[in-house]
Every structure is written in C-alpha cells, then in structure tokens.
C-alpha cells in the first residue's frame, strides 16, 4: 500500500482500528518518504525513526492482544521543535540550543505519547518562532511543497511543509502571531490556533507568553479536530490553562453546517494590500458561503490598523524577557572569550554567537520598548491598542457568529525575497495577529490557488473565545463544498506542481 501516506488522518485511524494496516507499516511508510524527500524540503530537523517504530510496534502488539487503545493510537505525528521532548534534541531552530536534549516532555508531547502516537521527529521553524518564512532557522530554510524555492510560511514552516508534502499525516504547531495559520495558507493545508489557554503551553519554549498557543496542523478540518481533541484540556502545570473544556471539535467538524450562520467579513482585512488572486479566491469563497445558506455581513474593526505596531512592541518585549534564560548557565551553548572573563562577558559572547539576526533585533527592540524612556509611549500604548482590538472583536461578534478574511495578503514569496526587510516581513501577519492579541481562536483552510502564480490561498475564520467548535463546523462545511468541486483535498495538487520529489512517489 504505497499510497498510504496520501490518506487523511481520519481514514488512517479507521484503517488502524480495523486492523487493515499496522502502525509499524504506516510509520515505516512515512519514515521512508521522509528519508527520500526531507533532504530537499528540510521540514524535519531531527527524525526519531527508532522511537517512532518502537511506539508503533507497541500499538500493534497491544491491538493484537485485544486491548482497548486510545482513539489515535498508532497514527504518526510530527512535532514542532519548540516543544520539549526527552528523547529528541529540542533546538527551537536556534544554534544556542543545538544538541540540547530536554529533561522533561511538554504536556502536549506527553498527551501524544499517552495516545500512543509514534512521534516521527521535530520540525523546522524560524529561530524561537520569530518569523513568518522559516528562513530565520539556524538550520536552513524549509521548502514549500508547491515550489521548493518558495517559503512555506512561518514560523512553523516545517510542520506545514511536512503535512503538505505527506511526510506526516498530522503535526503540532504553535501560533504567536499566525505561525500555524500563515504556513497553512502558504502550503494549502489546514491550521488552527485554539483559544488562548485551551492547550497547555507547559514545555513550549516561550516566545510571547500572553500570545503563544499550541494547535493542530493537518490537511483536512476533521483531522485538525481529531488532534485538538487530544491536545486540549486543563493542565495544572500551566497557570494560564483554561479551567473549562471546550467540547468535542470532532463532533463539530462532522456536523459542518453553514445554514443561518452569520459570517462577518472584516472590512479592514481585504482589498488594498491584498494580492489580486488572493482577493479573487476569497470573494468566490464568500459566494460559496452565501450559496450554502450563510448570512454575510460586513464588520468594521478600525483598531486593526494599529495591530501590527502593537504586536511588534508587545511580542519583542515579552520575548526579550523570555529569552533571558539563554545565559550559558543551565543549558545550551557557552562561548568563553579570551582572558579571564566575568560571567557577564561569557553571557554576552554566548548570546552574540548563539542568536541569529532576527532574534537579536527583537530582543533589542523589546529592551527598547520596556526601557524607562519609552515604556509609556510605546509599550503602554500597545497594551491599550490591545484593549481597543478586543472591543472591535466584541462589537463584531454581536453582528456575526464567525469573522472571515484572507489568511495572508499574498501567496508564498521566494526564499530570500524579504529577508533583509523586517518591516515587509512583519506585514505578512496582518490578518492573523489580531486573534493573538485578543486571545480568540482562528482557523486557516485552503480555498484554491491564485491565478497569477498557481500558489495556495487560505481563508481565515475567527470565533469568540472558547467557541473553537464554530471554526470546525464552518470550516468543515466550506471544505466539503470545495473538495466536492476539486475531487480531493487541496494538498494533493502540490504533487502536480513544480515539486518533482512527491511525484516520484508513484514509482
């Protein structure tokens, strides 16, 4: 069954449960494909073949013995490299952590292990999740499965490319300003940022603690729901973890429905600044929603104009504080200057050698935002903008059940195209950032390709806090209309594109 890797996670779960495929067989199929394609794509920084196969063998043994196994037992998964794993190096894409093997598992990793899901490996990312292209990884960029010379989005480009190139059926991502949703949009895959606090952040190497959220990366909405149901829930190790559970996302995805749903089109997130082919697919999607019975309204969110500025003050401020822990004392790199240096000199030399340019830029920016002369004017204002954005959302959700926008202003750009222009790079996140500032959930799913370049376009739905189920319900309904039209999930078309490698799977 060489085409196993092309099946959806939900189909594979069914095959596993019926015993029609073994977990070892399935895991080996993904490992083979990773071995063949990862050198070109660079989606994985580390492959855990031995550990994955051991878990798979355990599942097969216990299933054969007639044991009742967890829902996703035996289904392989990839994990972003900013989640700690006791049996694999965890670098967060940084030289400063090269070779570090953590002493504990992230809660999400423990939950995957409890499900008996073989962990295929750790995926590439922008250093400490700072970036939207994965070009800031200290271990080289990741290629987009649709065109290897283009960015897969970031920061979780590795997870999105792994899933988009069928190197894994599912992956874990983290989203601070769009790092799950933006790569999903760039690679024709599905990504969900759950409500802040819905998934434990314990063991996630923190970037912006008031913004970070772990979530699922998949090729279908239902697959994402299966994964969110496994990783969500209260965790006493994370003080920001929500006390309440949010219900079954799988049920919501299986009951996709648009009839009577009020969909608010965000006035500020379309038109000017959005690529023609992106806008065209978005407008068509709105027509499909209307035809399926949704009620379209326009909503006004005037404070979104300042969202990027607010985000790029708050995020660096939080990051500069979070990254202070990389000080050459407890883990990671230590660089000792000549002579008889003090610890401060060792720290400064280590951080100079260990951090890449974007990380240094943001730490310096954050230090500026928090310094006494600029705190009120910049950081203080940014926190007030955050309140205004929350108020915009609250008003919009009085008129609509979900809000909608393109996920990103453009399709995937060429590797190297924007890397020297941080401001241009920051604009990629214009549509995704407001959700993080407000803590609300969002999903990106593919809605076709842009006429001018044939590259994937994503649509983003946003829901009020705790209402993640609406995203799966509405997302699954739109997806089903589109897939009926296309004949298969969008990711399958990547093979027909410029990427030679996946097509060779046919031999």
Partner 1 sequence: MSEITPDLVRHLAGLARIDVTDAEVSRFTEQLSLIVDSMASIKAAVQGDVPATSHPIPMSNVFREDVVEPSLSQQEALSGAPDSADGRFRVHAILDEE
Task: Say whether residue 173 binds partner 1 (CB under 8 A).
Answer: no
Tell whether residue 236 is a contact of partner 1 (CB under 8 A): yes
Question: Nearer Cβ to partner 1, position 166 or 393?
Answer: 393
Alpha helices for 206-275 (secondary structure H): 221-231, 249-254
**SS3 call for 472:** helix
Tell me how far, at minimum, the Cβ of 354 lies from partner 1, in Å: 10
Shortest Cβ distance from residue 396 to partner 1 (Å)?
A: 16
Which residues from 87-146 bind partner 1, rule CB under 8 A?
100-104
Q: Is 80 a catalytic residue?
A: yes
CA distances in angstroms from 282 to 275, 286, 407, 426, 446, listed in the order given: 11, 6, 10, 22, 10
Q: Give, in order, the Cα–Cα distances in Å from 301 to each of 102, 309, 418, 432.
A: 42, 15, 28, 14
Q: Would strands 119-123 and 77-80 be described as parallel, antiparallel, or unpaired?
A: parallel
Task: Provide the token pair at 11.
Answer: 């189909």
Residue with tokens 């190790």: 237
> Which of the following is catalytic: 22, 159, 174, 179?
179
Q: Which is nearer to partner 1, 296 or 309 (CB)?
A: 309
Q: Which of 128, 196, 202, 397 binds partner 1 (CB under 8 A)?
A: 196
What string marks each residue from 423 to 462 as x (binds partner 1 by CB under 8 A) or -? x--x---------xxxxx----------------------
- Which residues ranging from 362 to 391 are in contact with partner 1 (CB under 8 A)? 363-365, 367-368, 371, 374, 377-378, 380-388, 390
Closest distance of CB 211 from partner 1, Å: 8
Catalytic residue selected from 155, 218, 241, 328: 155
For residue 213, CA distances in Å to 79, 136, 174, 368, 445 come to: 14, 20, 6, 25, 18
- Whether 179 is catalytic is yes
Question: By CB under 8 A, is residue 51 in contact with partner 1?
Answer: no
Burial code of 85-101, b = ≥16 C-beta within 10 A, e = fewer? Answer: beebbbbbbbbbbeebe
Measured distance CA(178)–CA(184) in Å, rounded:
10
Whose Cβ is closer to partner 1: residue 100's or residue 481's?
100
Of 7, 80, 95, 418, which residue is the catalytic one? 80
Q: Is 399 in the site for partner 1 (CB under 8 A)?
A: no
Among 44, 139, 202, 355, binds partner 1 (CB under 8 A): 355
Q: Output 279 or 322, the one with its CB closest to partner 1.
A: 322
* Catalytic residue check, 374: no
Q: Least separation, in Å, of the C-beta of 83 and partner 1?
A: 16
C-alpha angle with apex 364: 358 to 365, nearest 5 degrees? Answer: 85
Pick 40 or 348: Cβ nearer partner 1 = 348
CB 16 within 8 A of CB 149: no
Residue found by looking up tokens 């070892």 in the block: 24
Give the residue with the Cβ less far from partner 1, 21 or 382.
382
245 near partner 1, judged by CB under 8 A: no
Q: Which of residues 304-343 bind partner 1 (CB under 8 A)?
A: 305-306, 309-310, 312-313, 320, 324, 327-334, 336, 340-343
Query: Alpha helices, DSSP H only, in 6-156?
Result: 9-18, 23-41, 49-64, 107-114
Annotated catalytic residues are: 80, 155, 179
């Amino acid at each position: 069954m060489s085409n196993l890797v092309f099946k959806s996670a939900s189909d594979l779960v069914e095959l596993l449960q019926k015993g029609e495929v073994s977990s070892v067989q399935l895991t080996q199929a993904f490992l083979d494909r990773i071995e063949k394609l990862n050198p070109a794509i660079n989606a994985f920084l580390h492959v855990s073949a031995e550990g994955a196969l051991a878990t798979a063998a355990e599942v097969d043994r216990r299933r054969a013995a007639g044991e009742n196994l967890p829902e996703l037992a035996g289904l392989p998964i990839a994990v972003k490299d900013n989640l700690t794993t006791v049996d694999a190096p965890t670098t967060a894409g940084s030289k400063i952590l090269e070779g570090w093997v953590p002493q504990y598992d992230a809660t999400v990793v423990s939950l995957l292990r409890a499900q008996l899901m073989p962990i295929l490996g750790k995926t590439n990312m922008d250093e400490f999740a700072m970036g939207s292209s994965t070009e800031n990884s200290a271990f080289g960029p990741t290629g987009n499965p649709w065109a290897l010379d283009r960015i897969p989005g970031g920061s979780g480009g590795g997870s999105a490319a792994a899933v988009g190139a069928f190197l894994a059926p599912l992956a874990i991502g983290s989203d601070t300003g769009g790092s799950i949703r933006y790569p999903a949009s760039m690679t024709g895959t599905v990504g969900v940022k759950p409500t802040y606090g819905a998934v434990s952040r314990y063991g996630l190497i923190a970037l912006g603690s008031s913004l970070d959220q772990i979530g699922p990366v998949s090729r279908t909405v239902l697959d994402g729901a299966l994964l969110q149901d496994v990783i969500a829930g209260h965790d006493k190790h994370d003080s920001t973890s929500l006390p309440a559970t949010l219900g079954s996302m799988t049920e919501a995805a299986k009951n996709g429905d648009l009839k009577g749903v009020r969909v608010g089109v965000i006035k500020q997130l379309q038109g000017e600044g959005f690529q023609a082919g992106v806008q065209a697919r978005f407008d068509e999607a709105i027509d499909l929603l209307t035809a399926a019975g949704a009620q379209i309204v326009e909503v006004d969110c005037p404070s979104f104009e300042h969202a990027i500025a607010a985000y790029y003050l708050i995020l660096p401020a939080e990051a500069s504080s979070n990254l202070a822990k990389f000080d050459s004392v407890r883990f990671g790199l230590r660089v000792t200057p000549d002579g008889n240096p003090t610890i401060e000199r060792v720290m400064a030399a280590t951080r100079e050698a260990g951090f890449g340019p974007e990380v240094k830029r943001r730490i310096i920016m954050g230090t500026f935002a928090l310094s006494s002369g600029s705190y009120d004017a910049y950081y203080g204002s940014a926190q007030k903008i955050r309140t205004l954005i929350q108020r915009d959302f609250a008003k919009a959700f009085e008129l609509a059940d979900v809000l909608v926008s393109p996920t990103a202003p453009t399709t995937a750009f060429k590797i190297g195209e924007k890397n020297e222009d941080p401001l241009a790079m920051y604009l990629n996140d214009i549509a995704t950032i407001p959700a993080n500032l407000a803590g609300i959930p969002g999903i990106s799913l593919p809605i076709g390709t842009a006429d001018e370049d044939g590259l994937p376009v994503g649509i983003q739905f946003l829901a009020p806090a705790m209402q993640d189920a609406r995203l799966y319900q509405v997302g699954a309904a739109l997806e089903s209309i589109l897939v009926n039209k296309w004949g298969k999930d969008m990711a399958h078309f990547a093979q027909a594109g410029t990427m030679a490698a996946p097509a060779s799977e046919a031999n």
